[in-house]
Amino acid sequence: MVPAARPGPGAADHAQRRRSTRRRLARRVGGRFHASLRRLRSSAVPILQCGIAAGGAWLVADNLIGHERPFFSPIAAVISLGVSLANRLQRAVELVLGVTVGVLVGDLIISVIGSGWWQITLVVILAVGTAVLANGSALLINQAGASAVLVATLLPPGQAGGLDRCVDALIGGAVGMLVAAVIPSDPVAPVRRTSRALLDELGAVLRGVAGALRERDADAALAALQRARRTQPLIDSLRGALHGGREVTTVSPVHRRRRRVLARYGELAERADYAMRNVRVVARRAYAALLDDEPPVPDLPDVLGELACAVDRLTAELVREGDMARSRDAVVDVVVHAKVMSQDAADLLGTSEQVLVAQIRSIALDLLQATGLSRTEAQTAMRAP
């Protein structure tokens, strides 16, 4: 009997690669699934608001006002709320204005020239043109055009359906704002979450530059620079979250007292933005210095690493809603105790190193101001012996 051939090393390597590929695929799918669950959890209240507002808007328009099939009332409620917390009041107002423009233009034109393909063309051009002339937003312009189409196609000339649609839009927007006031979202949680993500990126870029300088790796410095440049959408998202949070505190009496918390986060967002801009300069200068093979300054990587740890302290206070002032000492220590940051060392540094030191000072100043210090107080703390 001939014994079975044993698999060779090539087959074993192939099986190992397949198992490794399956593990990577499982981790990727699992990661995306958990990210989707996190998005669902963070949007749970806005989703609930949209559902309740849609049903309530239909109830008001149908049972109380007596409109026949008021389908646009729940649509208006959902559009005015949306899943995003930002610009809800603005969306509601623009929705009503856009519908009004479209209905008025459509009614005036169709009642004179009748309905047909070329009438639809003319009505949409006039309605959208009027909205653009009034410097309307994209939502206002789109609603003006859509309402004009509805009047020109579904509503016989002379009927009051167009006016009913305006009232439905008003009902939907009003019910949406009422639901947002009665069942408010947390105005601070999205701001805190986005602030933490931005500070995490700030710390990661600082560590990336520190590692690049320590290893004399220009490619690593370039990667850190590119990562810093990709943070602008995160900064914009933080500003949007702040705007949405302030809007929630305006609409809902339940969260009025949290305005002070949002004010502190507003200062943090401004200073984190400035700090990230300075970090980009640091990464760019480090990349240029490594490309030009400038002499290394041994202390600089450690200073950048310590500054990244100070950012981590600030992030930790954000996570547990602690006192951000407790993270000040870590920032001050970076500037006060590092020899390379002293005035005596400035004359011994090259051009690139002087730029790096100046930018590190600017980052530390921004971080201290993010904790609530004024600029003068932060500068005084950085000059402490």
Q: Choose the weakest-confidence range: 7-21, 78-92, 100-114.
A: 7-21
277: exposed, middle or buried (Cβ count in 10 Å: 0-12, 13-18, 19+): middle
**Cα 198 to Cα 205: distance, rounded to the nearest angstrom:** 11
What are the backbone dihedrals phi and psi of residue 188, each rounded to the nearest 5 degrees, phi first? -100, -35
What is the DSSP code string of 263-315? HHHHHHHHHHHHHHHHHHHHHHHHHHHHHTTPPP-THHHHHHHHHHHHHHHHH
**Cα 30 to Cα 219: distance, rounded to the nearest angstrom:** 31
Average pLDDT, the chain: 82
pLDDT in tens, 305-357: 999 999 998 888 876 666 777 888 888 888 877 766 666 555 556 667 778 88
pLDDT, mean of residues 91-108: 79
pLDDT in tens, 144-157: 888 888 777 776 55
The architecture (CATH level 2) of 189-382 comes to: Up-down Bundle (1.20)
Q: Give the per-residue pLDDT at 225.
A: 94
What confidence tier does 1 reach under pLDDT thresholds 50, 70, 90?
very low
Beta-carbon contacts of 280 under 8 Å, excluding residues fewer than 6 positions away, are 225, 228, 229
| pLDDT > 90 in the chain, percent | 19
> Would the pLDDT of 6 be above 90?
no
Q: Give the per-residue pLDDT at 3.
A: 55
What is the DSSP code string of 52-80? HHHHHHHHIIIIIS--SS-THHHHHHHHH
- Residue from 248, 240, 256 nearest 46 by CA: 248
* Domain ranges within the chain, ordered by starting residue: 45-182, 189-382
pLDDT, mean of residues 276-293: 91
